[in-house]
């Protein structure tokens, strides 16, 4: 095993180009477990801790450009307003110690369906900024990023530099089921974002299919139902039947398995419950802000 | 490979480090600082918690090479670290030397064992509150609790539970650990 | 001098500071908070090697061949050993039945069984070398339950059994069977107005001590070996290790290294023999440290169990009879299975008066992971089932579940199903009364002016509910556990106590082989010495095999038995000190000859309080040292047919009330409060007593809602050997645990004390389950209960 310690992003890209099998390590919260338990013996470890850019974020007009290694703790503390769904998701990641080290880049690189960030990114809308020495930068839409169980759209010579997440234009929520009240891997997870600007709702489901997925049929149904009932304008409570059908469609979007963490049947059920609850919470919040702005006006 | 970093205020150098070694292994097996504990080595118990450039992390998940040039505080240096925080740079540093750490032998314990050892407030509170049983989780809990009280001098019970939710204890049922953190916070606010 | 087990009264040292009854602080506390306390995994030696174990990847197979050549040729490798390299004819070990191969011979019987061992200069070198050992297996069908174990054509897990249980078991794949028959259950059933039957399942729990199995074996010049080890019983280890090494016991020196928790999981050997073998083979110190993955294969677990119960009661709430059948899965090797069977059967009736019972408990041999001792030891599984039965009966009778239990509660004088009269306080009804009287925690405690605090709701930080679907439930349970080793076992301990003057002050040194595993025995020994000898300074000598056996740190027995041994040795020392005093100073004061003399506050005083002299003067130029064995009252084996016999020394009782909040839609549980009332006889160290009760309570909570080793029934392979998927409670899963301590002295025990470590682990689980049933209305006949069981999605 060789330990590569690039001092800059350019050096990191050069090293990855020279050694495409090199395994990037930043927070180490996935890679080191595999090494400690003898599940993996990479030829090269590519340490990204000295690449300072990866720890920075910029809040732009439309999006937040979030460095791949910005620890979850920083996201929770600093980006709660801009990225509320991701901040909530960050708070559910493992333990404080892990949140201090791990970042979204690791979740994306590992592409485990259980990664906590995925449903929030899918719901908010995001693009993954990847780069190679040979071909430069490209932006991969989050919807195209997950290609299989623990597989992603990254080329062997590419590294994840940042993720561009759409700034929240409405309420967002995130729920995760685990069999413990802290420090637990998701049995399944659900992210939901209201986008009043485009009058759309986006979702993200974790740990209930081979990859993180959106519940597209559920989104389409809800978008149509909200439009039809004039809900965005009248701010009425979403009828229980609409909420229920949305929840059922979210359950139907799952393609889960039975494993030691839970049954497929439970995952489908729980995603439905979380879909209904997160829709209620976000919609209540939307109605609240509407009322507040009307009151102010 | 060779790794250089600072542990408890002292520059340390480790040679012939295998690239897959964790910071925890280097501390325990190469630097004679076994205070950080090896309970799970998968980031699921917090027993190996150290401060890395001030931030609490699981040292089992930090590759040794990633510690290059950085500052580490372990439980062995916690009393000095807390003292520095209180009185600034004038206190000087101590920490366990490699030789001291390796001269372990089965020695008796008595009412004087450790007497004269200067403890940080959180260490003393853990003893006083009965928060130590087997003690294997204790070093990680001390580092995490100390950091909590550093940023929140008057935590609620829910705050304490959240801050320590990454540290497993199998002996105590956590009640005495809650007592210890409350006690340290209360003593801190009284300026004891 | 008092005789062993005789009634005792406290006559000594009530004036000496730091004696019994005070919450003195741990003597090892400072070392433990500074990181200097040396645990077994912290051992380090110049030039040491690292040992690695190669384990079977399948559960049941013939070993066709093992090729170690490539591993041996690896640079940095010093030794590779298999069964063929074992030095003597003794190649097995075991607590009671020596059926466990040191290294697999011809066959592996469970997933993770040790097949070969390697010593190398770095752990990674050792791991790589172990991976190069080629083992060819021919897989066999796996035996995983009672049906497959006792089928007519079942493969025998162990061929040619000749152990002392082989003769009386109905099938060779049954380790031990213990029936208990008393009265006539069938006849009594006719008096019952209601009958309740239930089938219950208890999952496989892991001790999950945090300090992994580890130790350092150092070869010595005389051809022997010195082992620094974390264990629960040094002498039991020694008895099993020495014959395999071909060494007399005096050439295997054992010193207790720091123990990072035990809970029964260190009663059996793990890496002890392997480290010694490698050290003797290479002539170098060898350290072995399991990682968490290996730890799940490196020790036995709590027996999973299937329990069938039938109870009857009259309209007015009196229990008529009980029939039960308890099937414990012992896995591939016997470990403590026979004794667990004895406990499960003899305590299966719970703390209730039932005259007519028909009980059977068995433990199976299967290809599942070996199971043995864990805190609660057979009584835990039974308590889960009989307490569920009590709730069902109360409901059927329309009675309050606590009142129903109180109506049937045993008391001092009750005859156990084994025919043994309970001859010390058994305040079951009182504990239930106290637990019910404790104030309830506030409702909707998660609500504040700022909204819902998810940390106080089911799901916790995962943000699954802000109150939706949350229903509160309350449940009660009570249990009975035996204290000490039972069934005729010669259960003794040894203490060496020395008294001398050091630096002008009298100092006592206590030397025992007691394994301090965190329970606080070292604290208590110092307290006893202060009380008995009137000194302030007490040194606790490290535990090793240079002193006689202390027995096991298990069965809630150490404060009773080794505490008793320390007390006894102190009393002998005291007499000798007084003899010296009489010899030196008797002529100066008549009271030396006539009065009853005490040692208090460093002085010899009369029972009237008159000071006769300083201990320092009495002991000037003299040292007194004794080593004495001490035994509790003897017990008897249970009759193999009827189960009759005075099998137990003492009983211990605890009751719990659980208050839970269940997210009934998602099946997630938050335990809000888990209150405990326990009789401890006499709290030698109240702070430690409460700590033990809270810790035991939390382990019971764990197996109620999350802890289970999951074994694939098709392959008998463990599916979750890690802390990622074997979950134990975090501080956010653990509620406040108010404790009400009752102290009713047992006149047969030292200071009246009662063993306390295990009882709280029993009733905690059924109390939580009862509370979840109360919240959901579901029957819930298995533990742990998982979200799918609460949502109909299992």
ipTM for the predicted complex comes to 0.96
Q: pLDDT-derived band of residue C29, with 50, 70 and 90 as boundaries? A: very high
Q: Which of residues 86-145 of A touch C (CB under 8 A)?
A: 88, 91-92
DSSP code of residue C335: T
Q: Which pLDDT score, from 0 to 100, does residue C705 have?
A: 98
Single out the residue of B134, B110, B27, B71 nearest to residue C33, CA to CA. B134
Radius of gyration of chain C measured on its C-alpha atoms: 27
Which residue in this structure is represented by tokens 């392979």? C717
Q: Which two tokens stand for residue A37?
A: 């338990």
Q: Which two tokens stand for residue C219?
A: 């070869």
The verdict on whether omega for the bond into residue A282 sits within 30 degrees of 0, i.e. cis, is no
Mean pLDDT of all residues in C308-329: 98
| Pairing assessment for the beta strands C174-182 and C356-364 based on DSSP bridges | antiparallel
Q: pLDDT-derived band of residue C7, with 50, 70 and 90 as boundaries? A: very low
Long-range own/partner contacts, residues B91-95 (CB < 8 A, 24 or more apart): B93/B8, B93/B9, B93/B10, B94/B8, B95/B7, B95/B8, B95/B9, B95/B10
pTM of the full structure: 0.96
Q: Which domains does chain A have, with CATH numbers?
A: 172-296 (3.30.390.50)
Q: Indicate if the pLDDT at residue C9 is higher than 70.
A: no
Give yes or no for A182 touching C (CB within 8 A): yes
Question: Which chains share 3+ C-beta pairs under 8 angstroms with C?
Answer: A, B
| Chain A residue at shortest CA distance from C785 | A179
Top mean pLDDT of A128-137, B113-122, C7-16 is at A128-137
Which residue in this structure is represented by tokens 């979380």? A274
Give yes or no for A270 touching C (CB within 8 A): yes
| Chain B residue at shortest CA distance from C208 | B170
Give me the residue from C464, C710, C725 closest to A175, CB to CB.
C464
Give me the residue from C291, C463, C469 closest to A175, CB to CB.
C463
Cα of B91 to nearest chain A Cα, Å: 28
Mean pLDDT of all residues in C216-230: 98
| C753 membership: H or E segment, kind and range | none
Percent of chain C clearing pLDDT 90 (strictly above): 96
Interface touch A37/B41, C-beta < 8 Å: yes
Q: Which two tokens stand for residue C648?
A: 């137990």
Q: Which two tokens stand for residue C159?
A: 């061929």
Single out the residue of C629, C604, C626, C628 nearest to residue C498, CA to CA. C626
Quote the Cα angle for A66-A70-A72, to 5°. 110
Cα of B3 to nearest chain A Cα, Å: 11
> Which region among B48-52, B110-114, B123-127, C76-80 has the lowest average model confidence (pLDDT)?
B110-114
Beta carbons of C496 and C512 less than 8 angstroms apart: yes
pLDDT in tens, C44-93: 999 999 999 999 999 999 999 999 999 999 999 999 999 999 999 999 99
pLDDT in tens, C475-506: 999 999 999 999 999 999 999 999 999 999 99
CB atoms within 10 A of CB C191: 13
Q: Which pLDDT score, from 0 to 100, does residue B111 have?
A: 59
Q: Which pLDDT score, from 0 to 100, does residue B116 have?
A: 72
Q: Indicate if the pLDDT at residue C421 is higher than 90.
A: yes
pLDDT averaged over every residue in chain C: 96
**The CATH number of domain B3-76, selected from 3.10.20.30, 3.40.50.2300, 3.40.50.2000, 3.40.50.300:** 3.10.20.30
Give me the residue from C35, C210, C539 closest to B108, CB to CB.
C539
Q: Which pLDDT score, from 0 to 100, does residue B117 have?
A: 82
- For chain B, the structural domain boundaries read 3-76, 114-190
Q: Which pLDDT score, from 0 to 100, does residue C594 have?
A: 85
Cα of A201 to nearest chain B Cα, Å: 32
Q: What is the dihedral of CA C769, C773, C775, C776, to 10 degrees?
A: 130
Interface touch C463/A273, C-beta < 8 Å: no
Q: What is the 3-state secondary structure (H, E, C) of C438-468?
A: CCCCCCCCCEECCEECHHHCCCHHHCCCCCC
- Best of B134, B160, B182 to substitute, by most chain C Cβ atoms within 10 angstroms, is B134
DSSP string, B15-29: -S--TT-BHHHIIII
CB burial class (10 A; 0-12, 13-18, 19+) of residue C655?
buried
DSSP string, C470-535: EEEEEEEEEEEEEES--TT---EEEEEEEEEEETTEEEEEEE--B--SSS-HHHHHHHHHHHHH--
CB burial class (10 A; 0-12, 13-18, 19+) of residue C580?
middle
Beta carbons of A74 and A173 less than 8 angstroms apart: no
- Which residues of chain C lie closer than 8 angstroms to A265, CB-CB? 788, 793-794
Q: What is the 3-state secondary structure (H, E, C) of C126-138?
A: HHHHHHCCEEEEE
Single out the residue of C659, C676, C696 nearest to residue C772, CA to CA. C659
Give me the residue from C27, C35, C538 closest to B75, CB to CB.
C35
Single out the residue of C579, C589, C581 nearest to residue C620, CA to CA. C581
Q: Which residues of chain A have pLDDT under 50?
A: 297
**The CATH number of domain B114-190, selected from 1.10.620.20, 1.10.150.120, 3.40.50.2300, 2.60.40.420:** 1.10.150.120
Q: Indicate if the pLDDT at residue B96 is higher than 60.
A: no
- Which residues of chain B lie closer than 8 angstroms to A97, CB-CB? 43, 46, 49, 56-58, 144, 166
DSSP string, C397-431: HT--HHHHHHHHB--TTPBPTTS-B--S---HHHH
Give me the residue from C44, C518, C724 closest to B44, CB to CB.
C724
DSSP code of residue A197: T
What is the number of CB-based contacts under 8 A between chain A and chain B? 92
- Which residues of chain A lie closer than 8 angstroms to C460, CB-CB? 180-182
DSSP code of residue A239: P
d(CA C514, CA C557) in angstroms, rounded, equals 11
Q: Which domains does chain C have, with CATH numbers?
A: 29-37+492-631 (3.30.365.10), 40-140+212-259+266-298 (3.90.1170.50)
pLDDT in tens, C551-600: 999 999 999 999 999 999 999 999 999 999 999 999 999 999 988 999 99
Q: State phi, psi for C659 to the nearest 5 degrees.
A: -120, 120
| Chain C residue at shortest CA distance from A40 | C128
Q: Which pLDDT score, from 0 to 100, does residue A124 have?
A: 98
Which residue in this structure is represented by tokens 């295998």? B18
- Best of A181, A186, A247, A288 to substitute, by most chain C Cβ atoms within 10 angstroms, is A181
N-to-C CA span, chain B: 46
Q: Which of residues 160-219 of A touch B (CB under 8 A)?
A: 181-183
Give yes or no for A183 touching C (CB within 8 A): yes
Mean pLDDT of all residues in B71-80: 97
Cα of B67 to nearest chain C Cα, Å: 20
pLDDT in tens, B1-32: 999 999 999 999 999 999 999 999 999 999 99
Strand partners, A67: A162
Give yes or no for B111 touching A (CB within 8 A): no
Q: pLDDT-derived band of residue C448, with 50, 70 and 90 as boundaries? A: confident
CB atoms within 10 A of CB C307: 25
Give yes or no for B59 touching C (CB within 8 A): no
- Which residues of chain C lie closer than 8 angstroms to B40, CB-CB? 210, 292, 722-723
Interface touch B166/A98, C-beta < 8 Å: yes
pLDDT in tens, C150-209: 998 999 999 999 999 999 999 999 999 999 999 999 999 999 999 999 999 999 999 999
Give yes or no for B75 touching C (CB within 8 A): yes
Which residue in this structure is represented by tokens 């035991």? C696
Q: Which pLDDT score, from 0 to 100, does residue B190 have?
A: 85
- Which residues of chain A lie closer than 8 angstroms to B162, CB-CB? 96, 182
Cα of B30 to nearest chain A Cα, Å: 17
Interface touch B111/C35, C-beta < 8 Å: no
Q: Which two tokens stand for residue C447?
A: 């609500």
Q: Indicate if the pLDDT at residue C250 is higher than 80.
A: yes
Q: Which pLDDT score, from 0 to 100, does residue C6 have?
A: 35
CA-to-CA separations, C374 to A20, C54, C166, in angstroms, rounded: 49, 26, 24
Q: Which pLDDT score, from 0 to 100, does residue C16 have?
A: 77
- Which residues of chain B lie closer than 8 angstroms to C208, CB-CB? 170
d(CA C496, CA C282) in angstroms, rounded, equals 36
Beta carbons of C281 and C79 less than 8 angstroms apart: yes
Single out the residue of A197, A26, A210, A189 nearest to residue A122, CA to CA. A189
Q: Which pLDDT score, from 0 to 100, does residue B192 have?
A: 54
Cα of B69 to nearest chain C Cα, Å: 24
Give me the residue from C719, C730, C793 closest to A263, CB to CB.
C793
Cα of A103 to nearest chain B Cα, Å: 13
Percent of chain C clearing pLDDT 70 (strictly above): 98
- Which residues of chain C lie closer than 8 angstroms to B165, CB-CB? 460-461, 730-732
Cα of C710 to nearest chain A Cα, Å: 7
Interface touch C517/B134, C-beta < 8 Å: yes
Mean pLDDT of all residues in C405-429: 98
Q: What residues contact residue C542 under an 8 Å CB cut-off, 6+ apart? A: B106, B107, B108, C255, C256
Beta carbons of C387 and C763 less than 8 angstroms apart: yes
DSSP code of residue B30: I
d(CA A215, CA C260) in angstroms, rounded, equals 47
Q: Indicate if the pLDDT at residue C674 is higher than 90.
A: yes
On the CB side of C325, CA atoms within 13 Å amount to: 5
| Chain A residue at shortest CA distance from B54 | A100
Q: Which two tokens stand for residue C559?
A: 């404060």
CB burial class (10 A; 0-12, 13-18, 19+) of residue A210?
middle
Q: Which pLDDT score, from 0 to 100, does residue B91 have?
A: 59
Give me the residue from B22, B41, B165 closest to A95, CB to CB.
B165
């Amino acid at each position: 095993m060789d330990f590569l310690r690039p001092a800059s992003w350019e050096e990191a890209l050069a090293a990855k180009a020279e050694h495409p099998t090199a395994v990037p390590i930043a927070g180490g919260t996935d890679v080191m477990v595999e090494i400690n338990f003898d599940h993996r013996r990479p030829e090269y470890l590519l340490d990204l801790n000295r690449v300072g850019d990866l720890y920075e974020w910029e809040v732009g007009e439309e999006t937040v450009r979030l460095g791949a290694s910005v620890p979850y703790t920083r996201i929770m503390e600093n980006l709660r307003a801009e990225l509320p769904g991701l901040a909530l998701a960050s708070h559910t990641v493992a333990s404080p110690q892990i949140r201090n080290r791990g970042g979204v880049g690791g979740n994306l690189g590992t592409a485990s369906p259980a990664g906590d960030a995925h449903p929030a990114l899918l719901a908010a809308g995001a693009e993954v900024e990847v780069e190679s020495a040979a071909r430069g930068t490209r932006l991969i839409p989050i919807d195209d990023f997950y290609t299989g169980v623990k597989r992603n759209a990254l080329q062997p010579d590419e590294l994840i530099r940042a993720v561009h997440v759409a700034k929240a234009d409405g309420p967002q929520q995130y729920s995760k089921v685990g069999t413990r009240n802290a420090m637990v891997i998701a049995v399944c997870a659900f992210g939901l974002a209201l986008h009043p600007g485009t009058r759309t709702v986006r979702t993200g489901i974790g740990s209930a299919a081979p990859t993180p997925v959106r519940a597209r049929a559920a989104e389409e149904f809800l978008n149509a139902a909200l439009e039809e009932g004039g809900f965005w304008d009248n701010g009425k409570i979403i009828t229980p039947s609409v909420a229920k059908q949305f929840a059922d469609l979210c359950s139907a979007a799952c393609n889960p398995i039975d494993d030691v963490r839970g049954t497929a049947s439970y995952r489908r059920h729980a995603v439905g419950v979380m879909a209904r609850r997160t829709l209620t919470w976000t919609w209540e919040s939307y109605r609240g802000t509407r009322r507040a702005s009307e009151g102010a006006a | 490979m060779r790794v250089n970093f600072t542990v408890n205020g002292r520059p340390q150098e480790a040679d012939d480090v295998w690239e897959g070694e964790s910071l925890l292994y280097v501390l325990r097996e190469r630097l004679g600082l076994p205070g950080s504990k090896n309970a799970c080595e998968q980031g699921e118990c917090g027993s190996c918690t150290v401060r890395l450039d001030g931030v609490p992390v699981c040292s089992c998940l930090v590759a040794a090479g990633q510690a290059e040039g950085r500052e580490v505080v372990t439980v062995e240096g916690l009393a000095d670290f807390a003292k520095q925080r209180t009185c600034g740079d004038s206190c000087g540093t101590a920490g366990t030397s490699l030789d001291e750490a390796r001269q372990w032998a089965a020695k008796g314990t008595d009412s004087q064992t450790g007497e004269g050892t200067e403890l940080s407030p959180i260490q003393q509170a853990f003893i006083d509150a009965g928060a130590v049983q087997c003690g294997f989780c204790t070093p990680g809990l001390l580092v995490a609790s100390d950091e909590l009280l550093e940023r929140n001098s008057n935590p609620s019970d829910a705050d304490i539970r959240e801050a320590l939710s990454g540290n497993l204890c199998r002996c105590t049922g956590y009640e005495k650990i809650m007592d210890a953190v409350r006690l340290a916070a209360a003593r801190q606010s009284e300026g004891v | 001098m008092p005789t062993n087990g005789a009634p005792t009264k406290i006559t000594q040292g009530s004036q000496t500071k730091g004696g019994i009854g005070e919450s003195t602080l741990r003597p090892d506390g400072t070392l433990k908070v500074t990181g200097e306390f040396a645990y077994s995994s912290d051992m380090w030696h110049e030039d040491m090697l690292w040992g690695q174990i190669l384990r079977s990847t399948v559960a049941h197979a013939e070993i066709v061949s093992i090729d170690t050549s490539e591993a041996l040729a690896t640079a940095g490798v010093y030794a590779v050993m298999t069964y063929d390299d074992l030095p003597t004819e003794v190649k097995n070990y075991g607590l009671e039945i020596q059926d466990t191969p040191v290294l697999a011979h011809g066959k592996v019987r469970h997933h993770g069984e040790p097949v070969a061992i390697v010593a190398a200069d770095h752990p990674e070198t050792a791991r790589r070398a172990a991976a190069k050992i080629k083992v060819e297996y021919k897989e066999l069908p796996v035996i995983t339950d009672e049906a497959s174990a006792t089928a007519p054509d079942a493969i025998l897990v162990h061929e040619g059994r000749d152990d002392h249980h082989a003769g009386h078991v109905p099938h060779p794949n049954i380790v031990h069977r213990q029936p208990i028959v008393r009265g006539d259950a069938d006849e009594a059933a006719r008096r019952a107005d209601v009958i309740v039957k239930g089938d219950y399942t208890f999952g496989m729990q892991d001790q999950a001590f945090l300090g992994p199995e580890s130790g350092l074996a150092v070869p010595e010049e005389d051809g022997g070996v010195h082992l620094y080890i974390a264990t629960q019983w040094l002498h039991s280890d020694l008895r099993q290790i020495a014959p395999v090494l071909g060494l007399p016991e005096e050439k295997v020196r054992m010193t207790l290294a720091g123990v990072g928790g035990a809970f029964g999981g260190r009663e059996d050997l793990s890496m002890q023999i392997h480290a010694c073998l490698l050290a003797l083979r290479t002539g170098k110190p060898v350290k072995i440290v399991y990682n968490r993955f290996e730890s799940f294969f490196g020790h036995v677990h709590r027996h999973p169990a299937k329990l069938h119960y039938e109870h009857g009661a009259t309209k007015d709430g009196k229990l008529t009879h009980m029939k039960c059948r308890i099937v414990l899965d012992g896995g591939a090797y016997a470990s403590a299975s026979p004794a667990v069977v004895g406990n499960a059967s003899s305590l299966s009736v719970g703390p209730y008066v039932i005259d007519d019972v028909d009980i059977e408990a068995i433990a199976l041999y299967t290809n599942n992971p070996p199971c043995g001792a864990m805190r609660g030891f057979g009584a835990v599984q039974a308590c889960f089932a009989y307490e569920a039965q009590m709730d069902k009966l109360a409901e059927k009778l329309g009675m309050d579940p606590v009142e129903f239990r109180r109506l049937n509660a045993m008391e001092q004088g009750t005859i156990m199903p084994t025919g043994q009269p309970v001859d010390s306080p058994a305040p079951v009804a009182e504990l239930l009364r106290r637990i019910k009287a404790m104030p309830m925690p506030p409702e909707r405690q998660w609500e504040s002016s700022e909204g819902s605090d998810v940390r106080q709701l089911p799901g916790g930080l995962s943000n699954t509910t802000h109150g939706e679907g949350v229903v509160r439930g309350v449940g009660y349970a009570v249990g009975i556990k035996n204290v000490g080793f039972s069934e005729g076992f010669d259960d003794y301990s040894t203490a060496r106590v020395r008294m001398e003057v050091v630096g002008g002050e009298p100092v006592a040194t206590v030397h025992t082989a007691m394994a301090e595993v965190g329970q606080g025995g070292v604290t208590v020994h110092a307290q006893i010495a202060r009380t008995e000898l009137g000194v302030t300074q007490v040194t606790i000598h490290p535990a090793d095999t240079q002193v006689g056996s202390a027995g096991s740190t298990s069965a809630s027995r150490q404060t009773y038995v080794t505490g008793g041994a320390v007390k006894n040795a102190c009393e002998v020392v005291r007499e000798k000190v007084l003899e010296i005093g009489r010899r030196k100073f008797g002529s100066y004061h008549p009271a030396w000859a006539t009065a009853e003399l005490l040692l208090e506050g460093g002085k010899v005083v009369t029972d009237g309080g008159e000071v006769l002299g300083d201990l320092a003067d009495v002991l000037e130029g003299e040292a007194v040292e004794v080593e004495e064995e001490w035994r509790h009252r003897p017990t008897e084996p249970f009759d193999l047919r009827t189960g009759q016999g005075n099998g137990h020394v003492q009983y211990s009782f605890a009751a719990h009330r659980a208050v839970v909040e269940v997210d009934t839609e998602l099946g997630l549980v938050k335990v809000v409060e888990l209150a405990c009332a326990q009789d401890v006889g006499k709290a030698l160290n109240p702070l430690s007593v409460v700590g033990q009760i809270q810790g035991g309570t939390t382990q019971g909570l764990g197996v109620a809602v999350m802890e289970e080793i999951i074994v694939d029934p098709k392959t008998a392979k463990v599916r979750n050997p890690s802390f990622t998927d074997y979950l134990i409670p975090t501080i956010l899963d653990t509620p406040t645990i108010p404790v009400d301590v009752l102290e009713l002295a047992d006149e047969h025990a030292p200071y009246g004390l009662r063993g306390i470590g295990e009882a709280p682990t029993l009733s905690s689980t059924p109390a939580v389950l009862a509370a979840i049933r109360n919240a959901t209305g579901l029957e819930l006949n298995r533990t742990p209960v998982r979200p799918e069981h609460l949502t109909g999605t299992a």
